[in-house]
Copies of this chain bind each other. A is one copy, B any other.
Amino acid sequence: MTELFPSGVFCAALTPLQTDLMPDHASFVRHCRYLLEEGCDGIALLGTTGEANSFSGDERRGLLEAAVAGGIAPDKLLPGTGVAAFTETVALTKHALSLGVTTVVMLPPFYYKEVSDEGVFAAYSEIVQRIGDDRLRVVLYHIPRFSAVPITHSVIERLRDRFPRTIVGIKDSFGELAHMEAVVRRFPGFAVLAGADPLLLPLLKDGGAGCITATSNLVARDLAFVFRNYADPAKQAEVEAAQARIVATRNRVTRFAQIPSIKALLARQTGNEHWRHVRPPLLPLSEGEAAEL
């Protein structure tokens, strides 16, 4: 059996913001350290949960540089680098590589809708070729709810055929276990990472590689426990208990808008008000919502 890469629990890290809505680098680095101490295998920064597409290229580069300068090992960092313009995706990915960060999570170009599989393939192909770096490992990012550009089996197949060493996995945020399982079955050796925390456990049992999730900002320790012990018959009670906490927390943060909810809980947990801020078009929770949460 081919070893899956990347494999493990990766936190789709939130981005703390100063009052002027600029990224708070110091708080972010502290959060990365905390997540790794809790047992995360890596930090999937600058994704949907991290509000990456609400940041300019320079702001994205600044956050990644701060993480590396703050002592987070480059091989623990999986930044999102896919944007609407393929030349900018190339630039962001080359910048990551220049810091020794070799695994990225890559959205398809997401402005034009109803594009063909051929067009999505052409975009990824152009990007990988223009980067031209053998170290690069790409996790495709399937999140049609926001990108509105799905990554189909046909796209995966063509990309795997063309770039077998580079296109290593997919973050599947479609939200349905059956969709992830179908990719696991069809593409042996391809790392399927759950985009929803409660699905880590069932996906692992079916041959998945791990997860890149939002609630892991709060329950990384439980997710890491599930990942390391799900197959151990002696630990099933503990695994079930961890899973129950994961599900409960996930249900809690999806009652209102998810990103502001997790940020509000993290603000309360750390006492750092910078966690409450979000960039528009997202909005912080109302006082009523925050109180209810």
Q: Kindly identify, within residues 249 to 266 of chain A, every residue whose CB is under 8 Å from any CB belonging to chain B.
A: none
Are the C-beta atoms of A281 and B54 separated by less than 8 Å? Answer: no
Binds B, one of A6-14, A120-128, A210-218, A267-275: A120-128
Write out the residue numbers on chain B whose beta carbons fall within 8 Å of the beta carbon of A83.
84
In the assembly, what is the distance between CA of A122 and CA of B11, in Å?
28
Are the C-beta atoms of A280 and B146 separated by less than 8 Å? Answer: no
Partner of A84, one of B53, B87, B115: B53
Contacts known (A113-B145, A146-B113); A85 close to B55, Cβ less than 8 A: yes
Number of interface residues of A (CB under 8 A): 39
Are the C-beta atoms of B88 and A282 separated by less than 8 Å? Answer: no
Partner of A88, one of B56, B87, B119: B56
The count of identical subunits is 2
| Most central of A118, A125, A149 by chain B CB within 10 Å | A118
Contacts known (A59-B85, A59-B87); A53 close to B280, Cβ less than 8 A: no
In the assembly, what is the distance between CA of A48 and CA of B113, in Å?
11
Distance of A148 from chain B, by nearest CB (Å): 6
Per-position 1/0 for A43-78, Cβ under 8 A of B? 000001000011111010000000000000000000
Q: List 11 A-B contacts (CB under 8 A).
A: A54-B85, A54-B111, A55-B85, A55-B87, A56-B88, A59-B87, A83-B84, A108-B281, A112-B146, A115-B281, A119-B281
